[in-house]
Amino acid sequence: MKLKIAVLPGDGIGPEVTNESIKVLNCIAKKFNHEVEMNEGLVGAIAIDHHNNPYPDETHNLCLESDAILFGAIGDPKYDNDPKAKIRPEQGLLEMRKKLGLYANLRPTLVFDSLLHMSPIKEERITGTDILFVRELTGGIYFGERGRKNNDNYAFDTCQYTRDEIIRIAKMGFEYAQKRSKKLCCVDKANILETSRLWRETVQGMEKDYPDVTVSYEFVDAVAMRLIQWPSSYDVLITSNLFGDILTDEASVISGSMGLMPSASVGSNNALYEPIHGSYPQATGKKIANPIASILSLSMMLEHTYNLKDESNLINEAVESSLLSGYKTPDLISKDEKACSTDEVGDYIVKFILDN
């Protein structure tokens, strides 16, 4: 099979972890006789530096011409620390999602048996956790009207949703629930917010079309608590952009490290795959960044975009083996363990794939 992939390493540790995914992809292509065409583009702070635009047209066209996008991370302290900056790296990510129509963010949260002890939550509470968040990605408060008034002393951000946007994301949630344990939770704040009432009303109206799925409705603050108390009680959750952003970052610590969790942003014609962690500028160039989230994002790409399940499963097995064998970056080690570098972890995974 021919795979045409846009590679957007981005900022900070993005290029480092993406490079390990590229090594794994080349290894998979060699083993399974695939032809891979990769083309690299700029996004984020590095794109601002070169084009004064965090998502230049060249990058957009590259994404449109590709089957899928492998993305690293966005962000740079020189913009984070300047509240008056007119152009920010994160604007590139929002624009990319909007222009490419990437309306749904899929974020799995699962635990690795070999790392249960690394979680800040008791093992008996997290054992068996396997959650899929389906987050709406192109609407809500991140894309609503915003601004300043009264000489910059008053600020506002508007949250808005259409019924069609909710139907689109809910349909995806229902369909994933049907493939899993047939449980779906709609997360909202319907006791306060009008947009949440529209969410709940819309999802309730869709229940009859999916009679095999049991649907629950929970307020976002209750879910935030239960994710820590009993995360294994959840399966598929659907929610709005802002709530999904916060809850998925909270859920990522269940596994013990954000460096383990992959994600996909999907639309009607394209999909972007990325680790959920940020650019982690403090670690840039130190070879301590965990590449597993990026490598598992590649695994998601092979399964979801190309339907290459054997290739995806082999990558997942390699990752599990690397953890069991002690090939772990500093974010995953106990006091008496030796840390491996970013490329050492990637090299182990490549070797495992070649040997199996």
Instruction: For residue range 286-302, list pLDDT tens digits in order.
Output: 999 999 999 999 999 99
Per the DSSP assignment, residues forming a β-bridge with 353 are: none
Catalytic residues: 142, 189, 221, 245, 249
Fold topology of 1-105+269-356: Isopropylmalate Dehydrogenase (3.40.718)
Instruction: Give me the mean pLDDT over the 2-10 stretch.
Output: 97
Q: What is the pLDDT of residue 118?
A: 85
Pair 306, 340: CB distance under 8 Å: no
The CATH code for residues 120-255 is: 3.40.718.10
Instruction: Give me the percent of the chain exceeding a pLDDT of 90.
Output: 85
Instruction: For residue range 214-238, list pLDDT tens digits in order.
Output: 999 999 999 999 999 999 999 999 9
CATH 3.40.718.10 in the chain: give the residue spans.
1-105+269-356, 120-255
| pLDDT band at 268; cut points 50, 70, 90 | confident
Instruction: Give me the mean pLDDT over the 99-116 stretch.
Output: 92
